Each structure stands twice: as C-alpha cells, then as structure tokens.
Amino acid sequence: MADVAREAGVSVATAGRALGNYGRVRDDLREQVQAAAERLGYSPNAVARSMRSGGTRSIGFVGADISNPYFATAMRGICDVAREQGYEPILANSDDRLEVERAAVSVLLDKQVEGIVVAPTSVTDVAHLERAMELGVPIVLLDRHIGALAADSVVIDNEAAAYEAVAHLLGLGHRRVGLLACVDPAEGPELAARTGTGRLTVRGAARPSIDRIRGYLAAVDDHRATSSAELIQYTPLSDAAQAQRRAEALLTQPQPPTAVFATDNVTTQGLFMAARRRGLAIPADVSLVGFDDLDWTTLVDPPLTVVAQSPLDMGRAAAVRLFERIKGDDRPAERIVLPTELVVRSSTAEHSHGVREHSG
Amino acid sequence: MADVAREAGVSVATAGRALGNYGRVRDDLREQVQAAAERLGYSPNAVARSMRSGGTRSIGFVGADISNPYFATAMRGICDVAREQGYEPILANSDDRLEVERAAVSVLLDKQVEGIVVAPTSVTDVAHLERAMELGVPIVLLDRHIGALAADSVVIDNEAAAYEAVAHLLGLGHRRVGLLACVDPAEGPELAARTGTGRLTVRGAARPSIDRIRGYLAAVDDHRATSSAELIQYTPLSDAAQAQRRAEALLTQPQPPTAVFATDNVTTQGLFMAARRRGLAIPADVSLVGFDDLDWTTLVDPPLTVVAQSPLDMGRAAAVRLFERIKGDDRPAERIVLPTELVVRSSTAEHSHGVREHSG
DNA sequence: TTGTAGGCGTTATCAG
DNA sequence: CTGATAACGCCTACAA
C-alpha cells in the first residue's frame, strides 16, 4: 500500500482511506489512488486488516462428516448466508469424536473466527464451547440441543417426528412395530421396564437418536401396542452394512415385526437392503418408515415413506442466528425448532392380519 | 502474551519462545511460562502469527456446490489431508458461475491462503487463476484439466471411461445407443458430420462432459453402430427434473435407442426415472449405463451398471499435490489421472433382436 | 540463555 | 480533508 500511496502521490493514510472505504477523501484523490492501485495490481491483505480490526470475516463450522448428505447440505446453507454477509466459512470434520471436535474448536478460536456453528458430538462435555462463548465467540448448535449450555440451537422435534412416524404405522393396524436406531455406544441408552405397566422407557441424554427412541416408545405406549426389547435393534455407527445386519436380525426373529421405523438415513438404507435381501415384499410383508428425505428414497421400489427434514434450512437458520449474535444480539439463548414432515409414500400399508411367511 | 510474561516474571521474548516452541529457553522457565499461560487462559493469536510469518495455514477450496455428493466427498478428502498437515480449508461455492468463482478466488487470496484447490467453471477464462499463481499461491485443478494453465490437475480419463461404457453396450449387441449428456449451454458443443463417413464428431473445449461425448462418439464409430444426432440429448443444468424430460424425449422417439449412457450422476438419475415413468423394463426394453457409483445405484431395481470414480481419492490427491507445491516443489505441472471402473450390474443386457413395443 | 527493539500491512487517532 | 504516527500480537535479529 505504501507503493500505491507513492505512485498516487499521497500519504499511506489517504491511500488507506481511499481503498478501505473509510474516512473522507476528496473524490479526485480517491480515483487517483484507485487508479494507482489498479496499475500496481494491489490487493488488500486481509490478515493485516484482521490484525488491526479484530474481525476476520470468518466463521467456523464443525460437523461430524462433510461427506454425509445431511452435513453437506447444511454446510451449503451456512455458506450461502455467510456469503451474503461477506464472510467465509472454515470447515472442520469431527468424525463424531469429542477430542477432535475440541481440537477443531481450539484451532478456529486461534484463527479468530467470529462465530462457530457446531453439530456437537457430546451433549455433556461442553467446556470447549463454553470457553468460546466466554471469549466472545458465539456458538450456534446444529442438530443437537444442549440444555446445559446457554447457546442457541437449531433442531427438529425428534421425539414428535418419531412419534408421528410410528403412530402412522400403528394407525394402519400394525401391533408389532420394530425400531432400528442409530446410537453411539458411548451414549449408553438403557431400556428399562416402567413400573407397573411392564412397558419400556429409555434412559440417556437428550440426543436425536435417543429422542427418536422416546418418540417410538411413547407412540407404542399410547396405542397399547407391543412393547418389547426384541423389537428394538441398535446399530452403533454410521455404517450401512452394520445397520443391514441388525435389520436382518430384527426381521428374521421368530415373531418378526410387521412394520419397522428407522431413525436416520443410514439405518433406513440398511433396513431397505435387509428387507430386499430377505425377499420380503414391501409393504405386503413389512411396512417401512425411514428418516430423511434423500433422493434415493423416491427412486427405489416402492418409494419410501419417510420423515423429512430440511438440512438446508437448518444450516441457513443456524448461520442467520450466528450473524445476529456476531452483530451483538444478546437476547437469551433460544432453541429454534424447524418443522419435519411425514411424507407418506408406498412403503407403508395396512397390516394384513392373514398369515405371513418368509424365510426368516 | 505480555500478561503471561509479566505473570511468569520473564520478558515477552522468553514467553514467546516458551509458548511458540522456538529458540532456546531454560526448562524451568519454560514450565513457569506455560503454567502462567494456563492460569491466564492464554491462547496464541493465529492472525498475528500469520501476519508475522506470512503463512496462514489455510487453504481454499472452490467447487460448484458442496451439497453435490461429488464435491462433498472430494472436500472430505481435502479436509483429511489438510488436517494431517495442520491446515484448515476455507470453502467457497461457485455455483458453476465464473464471476462467483473469480470473486471467491480473490477473497481467498486476500485472506492469504497458501494454496487453492479449484474445480474450475471455465476452461478458457483463467486470468484469476494465473494471478494466484503469479502471487505464489499454487493452484490444483480438480475434475477438469486446463491445457492453457501451468497448474496441476487431478482428473479421470473422461473419454476413455465413456468409451468403455459405450463399448460395453455395443459389445452386448446394441446398435442404437443413446446419450444423455449434461453440458453447460455456454460450452456450446457442436455436433458436426465428419467428412466422408457421415459420422459425427464434437467440437468444444476439453471438459468432462464434452470428453465423455467424445468417448461415446469414438466407441460408436469404432463399432460401426448408428451415429445420429437424434440419439443424443443435452440437458443444460444440474437439474434432475430437466434431465428426466430430456431422457423421456430420447426414449419416446419413433425409433428409440435400445440402450442409453448418461454422463453424470444427475442425468443418470433422470434417465432412470424416465425409463420407469415410461414403464420400460430395464434391461429388457432398454439397457442403462450411468456415471458415478452413488449408493442409490445399488438400491434401485435393477442395480445400475455405472462408471465409478472416487471423488474421495481425487480430493485427497489434489490436496497432496497442493501441499507438495506449498512446500516448494516446482516440478512442471502434471496431469494426475485417477482410474475409473466400469461396474457391471444388472441394468445392461444383450440386445434382444425381437420386436419391442412401448407406449412412446 | 535472555532481553530489547523493530517490523509485518492495516486502520485509528490526532494534529495540521 | 490530509498527513504523520502509533498500535494490533507475534517473531526474529541482535545485543547483552
């Protein structure tokens, strides 16, 4: 910039004002400076600017895995909003591992990002997020709410969404509804018999998959349908092959469920593959409800009934709220709940009370 | 850091040496400083560090759309390599628009990224990329090679991959093979009759979709199969609905193709939907070969024969090469060609020479 | 081994 | 309205 100032015959201060669009500069001088800058191919150094002003015009996004369609689409929403605001997002994958998330947040903080959207791995271990907020870097939680943290969150009503899905199956006359849930073994959800009724309840933190189990159990309970641990299978990781094996176990037990609800897109895929591999007709032999309205669910035969959410809108909403915070909004933290929709297609049908046989 | 130095009773220089792991510090002083830093919750300011050292430990990635599985997966590969190197990626979507790409590159340059991976929108308009290289910021091209630019690129052999796919169909006895190609209208590919033979050739820059058309035409030519403009449909944008309409046009003409090749994952989806909507049996009525081995291609009925590439490996390779450049490697620019594989599944079968009828 | 001082490229403050 | 100058936080000569 010193060169530009010299070339234009003004001081660096004036050059700075002309190029940085601050302070007052006479019009002819401004043009002179801009011309000089053009000639010399000057472009501003954002690092120096950040150093001086404190603002980096960067935000961070920490998610489990950007190659997962949910996060990729959410990231798209975040990018769009960031760009409107003149900000750039820095991306970090946590692989759903707490220590990786911690390290990522720490690096982002060192890089002086002005805010962070994070899909948190843990719902209890939040010291790193608290530290960010103490440092004045706002945090917006995506996909998971953390009660213990005074941060905004953008979520869906997991329990209600699951309830609606399962109630749909029960409304079709199904009495034995299976559940294929994707839960981290570290979460350690425990099924426990509810005193008196013999029905089940679940213990564990407020996390999407566990809330979805809660919704399932509540629906089963309300409709006085069969409540049994044998109707529930967990699959530990985002691993479709593993999910498929669990689904097959579910479908091939002596008294198999006549309908199954899967709690996320990976288990949905595993469930669908398992049913097909076992030669079960959908929905004649089993009804299926999946989670997440991915393209492929309309491409398969039959098209799947699913619970739809909008990761694009969730990413957008998270970013919008983040920028409100960056601009100084200090209202109490809010839990922003976006809608879900049960999209009924052809994988669910009335329970036929006739005899059903398959190779299981 | 001044606070830490004071707290530890040393000079800022010593504190800096102790915390930044450079220079020599007596062990007891180092520990003293670290303890003080811990107590005060000090963490280094990466912006100031970058200002001083010139290195930001950031790289940029510019792709058309992160919510597209190809880019999301490539980004994952880039992230992984970056993290190993202690770098963070800054993400920008170009929406396949040149001016947006230009602006993104410019911002990344201002932010002093040390290198950029870009899936370029244009194969001819490269001034912004040249400028980056002149400024000493290495560029690695992903998915598209630009002959006029002395930058590394990570690509697949699009022409050979398409050739193999179409040859597979021709080897099954098909004579009328259709093509559904996703090309930007701005690219203006033109079909022209080759002098003498009456067969077709294509004009246009070296871009994935156009190279895939070249592969198609070469295969058709080599096998003396039917070469006709009526067997080729273009679909301008990454829009599955539009692709489906074009595919239907292709399938419902008076003398429809008995097999069709789609040049990318969106057209593959459109093609599959079109065939199903027209009630065509696959592969009895039409054989289908798609591009990109996405999960859903094995979930549908029948599982699709596709040309598989690995965006994860491509992203990784691009990042690896970028870091070699960042570390000073100045060998001539190289075109890194990753393998593709024709995955034969059940959507392709021998051409039945019997009569074929459908509602078209 | 430790301390002092200067500068990286901006922007903000102040005096002219 | 313009110019000189100081600071942002860190790193690196150089001197002690």
- Give me the mean pLDDT over the A160-182 stretch: 97
Superfamily of domain A58-155+311-338: Response regulator (3.40.50.2300)
**Phi and psi at residue B55, to the nearest 5°:** -100, 130
For A249-299, the pLDDT digits (tens) are 999 999 999 999 999 999 999 999 999 999 999 999 999 999 999 999 999
CB A162 within 8 A of CB A219: yes
For B214, counting Cβ atoms within 10 Å of its Cβ (0-12 exposed, 13-18 middle, 19+ buried), the class is buried
Tens-binned pLDDT, residue by residue, of chain B (360 aa): 888 888 888 888 898 888 888 878 888 888 888 898 999 989 999 999 999 998 999 999 999 999 999 999 999 999 999 999 999 999 999 998 999 999 999 999 999 999 999 999 988 899 999 999 999 999 999 999 998 999 999 999 999 999 999 999 999 999 999 999 988 766 667 777 776 777 788 877 668 888 999 999 999 999 999 999 999 998 877 788 999 999 999 999 999 999 999 999 999 999 999 999 999 999 999 999 999 999 999 999 999 999 999 999 999 999 999 999 999 999 999 999 999 999 999 999 999 865 444 443
Interface of B with A in 258-277 (CB under 8 A): 269, 272-273
Mark yes or no for CB contact B300/A295 under 8 Å.
no
Distance CA(A200)–CA(A223), nearest Å, equals: 13
Mark yes or no for CB contact B75/A67 under 8 Å.
yes
CB A184 within 8 A of CB A125: no
Phi-psi region of B224 (alpha: psi -120 to 50; beta: other; left: phi over 0): left
All residues of chain B having their beta carbon less than 8 Å from the beta carbon of residue A296 are 294-296, 299-300
All residues of chain A having their beta carbon less than 8 Å from the beta carbon of residue B69 are 67, 69, 72
Distance CA(B219)–CA(B229), nearest Å, equals: 15
Picking from B44, B73, B299, the nearest residue to A269 by CB comes out as B299
pLDDT of residue A188: 63
- Give me the mean pLDDT over the A98-103 stretch: 96
**Phi and psi at residue A260, to the nearest 5°:** -140, 140
Strand B341-343 and strand B305-308: the pairing is antiparallel
Rank A96-100, A335-339, B228-232 by mean pLDDT and report only the highest: A335-339
Distance in angstroms, CA of A50 to C1' of C8? 13
CB A239 within 8 A of CB A206: no
pLDDT of residue B23: 77
Mark yes or no for CB contact A58/B111 under 8 Å.
yes
Kindly state whether B45 is in contact with chain A, defined as any CB-CB distance less than 8 angstroms.
yes
pLDDT of residue B353: 67
The pLDDT of residue A192 is above 60: yes
Picking from A106, A110, A296, the nearest residue to B295 by CB comes out as A296
For domain A158-309, the CATH architecture is 3-Layer(aba) Sandwich (3.40)
pLDDT of residue B331: 97
Residues with CB under 7 A from strand C: A 1-2, 12-13, 16, 19-20, 22-23, 42, 44-45, 48-49, 51-53; B 10-14, 17, 23-26, 29, 51-52
Asked whether strand D has any atom less than 7 Å from the CB of A46, the reply is no
**Structure token digits, residue A189:** 């959800």
| Protein residue with the closest CA to the C1' atom of nucleotide C3 | B11
Expressed in angstroms, the distance from the first to the final Cα of chain A is 76
Asked whether strand D has any atom less than 7 Å from the CB of B36, the reply is no
CATH topology agreement for domains B58-155+311-338 and B158-309 = yes
- Amino acid in the structure at residue A231: L
pLDDT of residue B356: 47
Distance CA(B146)–CA(B227), nearest Å, equals: 29
Interface of B with A in 99-118 (CB under 8 A): 106-112
The pLDDT of residue A335 is above 90: yes
Percentage above 70 pLDDT, chain A: 95
Q: Which residue shows structure tokens 């696959």?
A: B282
Cα A202 to chain centroid, rounded: 22
Cα A22 to chain centroid, rounded: 39
Confidence of residue A360 (pLDDT cuts 50, 70, 90): very low
Kindly state whether A76 is in contact with chain B, defined as any CB-CB distance less than 8 angstroms.
yes
Interface of A with B in 147-206 (CB under 8 A): none
Phi-psi region of A352 (alpha: psi -120 to 50; beta: other; left: phi over 0): beta
pLDDT of residue B199: 77
Asked whether strand D has any atom less than 7 Å from the CB of B44, the reply is yes
Q: Where are the domains of chain B?
A: 1-44, 58-155+311-338, 158-309
Strand A88-93 and strand B190-193: the pairing is unpaired
Asked whether strand D has any atom less than 7 Å from the CB of A237, the reply is no
